[in-house]
Structure formats: C-alpha cells, structure tokens
Amino acid sequence: MAIRKIVQYPDPVLKQKAKPVTKFHARLAKLLDDMAETMYDARGVGLAAPQVGILKRAIVVDVGEGLIEMVNPEIVEKKGEQISPPEGCLSIPNLLGEVRRANWIKVKGQDRHGNPVEIEAEGYLARAFQHEIDHLNGVLFIDVAERVFRPDEEEEED
C-alpha cells in the first residue's frame, strides 16, 4: 500500500466525470488499498478515485464504522433531508459548506472483485456516500453548498 497525493482544487481532474470500472484486477485492488491508506493518513472519512488523479468510479468511506469500498456506486433511492454538519473535503482544504443532502440512501455497486453490493446508509454515512459519489460526477461540495465558509467563520454566523 502507498499514500497517494491528493489532488487539490482547482485541478481540472476534479471537474471531470469518472469512467465505469470494467476490469476487476490487481491494479484495482491496489488502487482501493492506496485510497484507504491515503484517506486514513489525511484523517478523512471518504475518498474518491478522482481525488488521487484516477478517473475511475471507485470510492472508499469510513465514518468510524469500518471501511467500505464501492466500485461503480449508484444511488438508487433517497429519503428525507439533512443539512448539517458542515462538509469539508480533502481536495478543498480550509473551506466548509452547508450542503442539503438526503438523510437516507440506498447505493448499489460492486466490490473489488466485481460482486454486486447494496448498502443502505443513513445520517453521516449517507452524507459521506453522496459527497464521494458527487466526486465521481465532477461535482464538488462548493458547487452545491448553500453556504461556503472558512472554519474560523463558523462561530461568527450565530
């Protein structure tokens, strides 16, 4: 495993749509392993392949409940709404945003071997999935946030 360089905004790769994964081989497994190690090293809760410069539809997420890998993820159902806590992004340091997201989602995709996977996520985990899947579509949280601010500004808004 290796820690990869996290692509920083405004790198154009972050605005491109990732391509579906069609080959489930050792290179994909290494990418997923490296993405998890990179995410943990950066103290993040999610990472999408475009954030390490790879335009493939693969994400890793861990909101404290254990690592989840998903290849070719697709949200197939959404319910409810949430807007807090503020979102941040490893590719856009020093900014946070208030983003309206579904509170519950169902995601279908594949594991690292190509086997079908379906996950139901709620709350923070649902938010993390939506954020990472947005990355696969070239959408950043600053594109959809109702408000973007620096962490030190959060207290001043009250």
The token pair at 139 is: 């959408």
Residue 96 known to bind ligand: no
Q: Give the residue numbers annotated as catalytic, written as ranges.
A: 132
Beta bridge partners of 116: 110
Residue 113 known to bind ligand: no
Residue 135 known to bind ligand: yes
Could you give phi then psi for residue 118, rounded to 5 degrees?
-135, 130
40-79 core/surface letters (b: 16 or more CB in 10 A; e: else) = eeeebbbbbbbbbebebbbbbbbbeeeebbbbbbebeeee
Cite the annotated binding site for Fe cation by residue number: 89, 131, 135
